[in-house]
Structure 1
Amino acid sequence: MFPSKTYIERRYQLKKTLKSGLVIFPGNAESPMNYADNWYPFMQDSSFLYYTGINGIPNLYFLIDIDNDRDILFGNDATPEEMVWTGAAAPMADLAAKSGITSVKVVNELEAYVRQKKQKGQQIHYLSPYRADTKIRLAELLGIKLAEVDKNKSVNLIKAIVAQREIKSDEELVEIEKAVNTTVAMHTHAIKNTRPGRTELQIAGELQSIAIGGGGNIAFPIILTKNGQYLHVHATQNTLSEGDLVLCDCGAENAMGYTGDMTRTFPAGKKFNALQRNVYDIVLNAHNSAVAALKPGVHYKDLHLLAAKKLVEGLTDMGMMKGNADDAVAAGAHTLFFQCGLGHMMGLDIHDMENLGEHYVGYTPDLKKSTEFGLKSLRLGKALKENFVVTVEPGLYFNPFLIDAWRAEGKYTDFVNYDELEKMKNFGGIRVEEDFAITASGSRLLGKPLAKTPEAIEELKNS
Structure 2
Amino acid sequence: MNKLASLYPAHIAELQVRVKNVLARENLQGLVIHSGQEMKIFLDDMGYPFKVNPHFKHWLPLVDVPNSWLIVNGEDKPTLVYYQPVDFWHKVIQLTDSYWTEFFDIKLLAKASDVDQLLPYDKKGYAYIGAHVEVAQALGFANINSEPLLNYLHFHRAYKTEYEQECLRRSNASAVAGHQAAKQAFFDGASEYDIQQAYLKATQHTESETPYGNIVALNKNTSILHYTALDREAPEVHRSFLIDAGANYHGYASDITRTYAFKRDKFAELIARMDKLMLQAVDGLKPGKSYVDLHIETYSEIAKVLSEFQFINVSPADAVEAGIVSTFFPHGLGHHLGLQTHDVGGFMADERGTHVETPKEHCFLRTSRVIESNQVFTVEPGLYFIDSLLAELKQSSHSSMVNWANVDEMRPFGGIRIEDNIIVHQSHNENMTRDLALT
Could you tell me the TM-score, scaled by structure 1's length?
0.80
| Cα distance in 2 for residues equivalent to 1:336 and 1:40 | 36
Query: Residue 73 of structure 1 aligns with which residue?
Result: 80
- Look up the SS of the partner of 1:17 in the other structure: helix
Q: What amino acid maps onto 1:46 in structure 2?
A: P
Aligned residues: 422
Are the aligned partners of 2:84 and 2:108 in contact in 1 as well (CA < 8 Å)?
Answer: no
The 1-side partners of 2:365 and 2:81 are apart by 38
Task: Check whether the contact 1:388–1:438 (CA below 8 A) recurs between aligned residues.
Answer: yes
- The letter for the 2-side match of 1:311 is I
Q: Write the distance in 2 (CA, Å) between the matches of 1:239 and 1:84.
A: 39
**Alignment-derived partner of residue 221 in structure 1:** 213
Answer whether contact 1:96 1:102 (CA < 8 A) is retained: no
Task: Name the counterpart of 2:227.
Answer: 233
Q: 2:20 aligns with which of 2, 15, 40?
A: 15
**Residue 248 of structure 2 aligns with which residue?**
253
Q: Residues 228, 76 of structure 1: CA spacing in aligned structure 2 closer, same or farther, 3 A cutoff?
A: closer
CA distance in 2 between counterparts of 1:198 and 1:141 reads 52
Matched residues in 1 for 2:108 and 2:397: separation?
62
Cα pair 1:195 1:240 within 8 Å, conserved: no
Distance 1:183 1:33, change over 3 A: farther
Equivalent pairs: percent with the same residue? 23
Among 283, 293, 309, the alignment partner of 1:302 is: 293
Following superposition, the deviation at residue 377 of structure 1 comes to: 1.9
1:446 to 408, 425, 432: 432
> 1:403 maps to what in 2?
390
Query: How is 1:266-281 mapped onto 2 (pairs within 5 angstroms)?
Result: 266-267=260-261, 269=262, 271-273=263-265, 275-281=266-272
CA distance in 2, matches of 1:296, 1:414: 40
Give the C-alpha shift of residue 111 in structure 1.
Answer: 8.5
After the TM superposition, which residues 32-431 of structure 1 pair with which residues of structure 2 at under 5 Å, given as runs?
32=40, 38-65=46-73, 71-79=78-86, 82=87, 85-87=90-92, 89-90=94-95, 98=101, 100-102=103-105, 104=107, 106=109, 108-110=114-116, 116-118=122-124, 122=125, 124=127, 126=129, 129=131, 134-142=132-140, 153-195=145-187, 197-212=189-204, 217-226=209-218, 227-234=221-228, 235-254=230-249, 256-267=250-261, 269=262, 271-273=263-265, 275-353=266-344, 358-360=346-348, 365=354, 367-372=356-361, 375-408=362-395, 410=396, 412-413=398-399, 415-418=401-404, 420-431=406-417
Match of 2:421 among 427, 432, 435: 435
The 1:36/1:51 distance shift into structure 2, 3 A limit, reads farther
The Cα RMSD (Å) is 3.4
Of stretches 411-420 and 225-234 in structure 1, the one that deviates more from structure 2 is 411-420
Q: Which runs of 5+ in 1 are unaligned?
A: 453-463
Displacement, 1:302? 1.4
Q: Does 1:29 align with 2:46?
A: no
Q: Are the equivalent residues in 1 in contact too, given 2:84–2:93 (CA < 8 A)? A: no
The residue type paired with residue 380 of structure 2 is E
Q: 1:268-297 CA deviation, whole Å, 9 max, x = no partner? A: x4x232x20232234223212201212211
Equivalents in 1 of 2:436, 2:360: separation in Å? 36
Change beyond 3 A, Cα 1:16–1:326: same
Distance across 2 between alignment mates of 1:101 and 1:407: 62
C-alpha displacement at 1:203, in angstroms? 1.0
CA distance in 2, matches of 1:258, 1:51: 12
State the secondary structure of the residue aligned to 2:412: coil
TM normalised by structure 2 equals 0.84
Change (3 A) 1:366 1:8: closer
Question: Structure 2, unaligned stretches of length 5 or more?
Answer: none
Q: Is the 8 A contact 1:211 1:217 kept in 2?
A: no
For 1:459, the equivalent position in structure 2 comes to: none
Residues 229 and 111 of structure 1: CA distance in aligned 2, closer, same or farther (over 3 Å): farther
